[in-house]
Amino acid sequence: MNIVITGSLGNIGKPLTKLLVARGHEVTVISSKPERISAIEELGAIPAIGSIQDVEFLTKAFTGADAVYLMEAWEGIGSLFDSSIDFPAEFKKIADNYVQAVQRSGVTKIIHLSSIGAHSDHGTGSLMVHHHVEKVLGTLPENVSIKFMRPVGFFSNVYRWLPMILSKGAIIQSYGGDHKEPWVSPYDIAQTIADEMEMPFTGRTVHYVASDEVSPNEIAEALGKSIGNQDLKWKVIPSDELLNQMLSAGINEWIANGMVAMQQAQGNGSLYEDFYLNKPELGKVKLADFAKEFAEVYHNKINS
């Protein structure tokens, strides 16, 4: 198959490219950075350098493809510390661009990276943007088949807590405890997408993706053990305190409020209601595997 993937060589894009190339597919990787050309070519893929904000570029890149993998990256939109960014509007703009490019190029097989929480337009905090993106893509003609992939929280997002762990000696959030919730590795997401590329495309389908089910306290214990800090704890603070901390740090107000609301949904379990109604088979990467990876990154950080 001739497959085009967006998202460059990120946490999912790089392993996905490797898997698809190894299976004999012709893979084109869209990236906004010319300096990624050599890395893309080294993986055996074809670089397409341009912006997902450019409909003409996307149309040209998609033309002739048997299938396209679509995603929107928060980082690609702008800094979470930029108060001027309207993130919902930017997500909609990218979704609109994808719709135009798909229609103009004639592609009829789409895999879209959505998210847990996309099942609802309320009560999910900042994740509600994924619900609206799914709705926009859903306006495509019926002959366009779409597989909406809804991964749960990424293990790799834990790296955002490294400064907190180093400076505070704790993971500090507005929810926690012993209640288990699903987590996923980008490697299992890539594996699932690669498998789905080779399966029939029919209509519009939803696929949840998860690797393990662990509690906040289990995460703190596993990470602490991996880095030699048996005292590492997951500390719970009031929502308004967390919000004030994020706002004081300069985080975009919409993002800050959205993160607090998302954590409330994690804490009361409402974020996962649809997930558990459609629970997938769990992937291969478990918390213990991620903890080893985290320890390596942690020790490189403190020794650098």
pLDDT in the model for residue 303 = 84
Torsion of CA 289, 292, 298, 299, to 10 degrees: -170
pLDDT in tens, 65-102: 999 999 998 878 989 999 999 999 999 999 999 999 99
Percent of residues, the chain, with pLDDT higher than 90: 97
Q: Tell me the three state secondary structure of residue 210.
A: coil
Mean pLDDT of 47-72: 97
Per-residue pLDDT band for 242 (boundaries 50, 70, 90) equals: very high
Mean pLDDT of 241-263: 96
Mean pLDDT computed over every residue of the chain: 96
pLDDT of 135 over the 90 cut: yes
pLDDT in tens, 193-237: 999 999 999 999 999 999 999 999 999 999 999 999 999 999 999
Domain boundaries of the chain, sorted by first residue: 2-153+184-210
pLDDT in the model for residue 73 = 82
Which residue type, as a one-letter code, is found at position 102? V
CA distance 18 to 27: 9
CA distance 57 to 105: 11
8 A C-beta contact, residue 175 and residue 264: yes
CA distance 217 to 226: 14
8 A C-beta contact, residue 30 and residue 6: yes
Residues 6+ apart with CB under 8 A from 195: none
Per-residue pLDDT band for 304 (boundaries 50, 70, 90) equals: confident
Per-residue pLDDT band for 302 (boundaries 50, 70, 90) equals: confident
Mean pLDDT of 102-123: 97
pLDDT in tens, 160-189: 999 999 999 999 999 999 999 999 999 999
Locus of tokens 């998609």: 62
Which range has the worst mean pLDDT, 64-78, 107-121, 146-160, 197-211? 64-78
Q: Tell me the three state secondary structure of residue 65.
A: coil
8 A C-beta contact, residue 111 and residue 69: yes
Bridge partners (DSSP) of residue 82 are: none
Give the predicted TM-score (pTM) of the model: 0.96
CA distance 193 to 91: 21
CA distance 118 to 102: 21
At the second CATH level, the architecture of 2-153+184-210 is 3-Layer(aba) Sandwich (3.40)
Q: Which two tokens stand for residue 120?
A: 């609802």
pLDDT in the model for residue 186 = 97
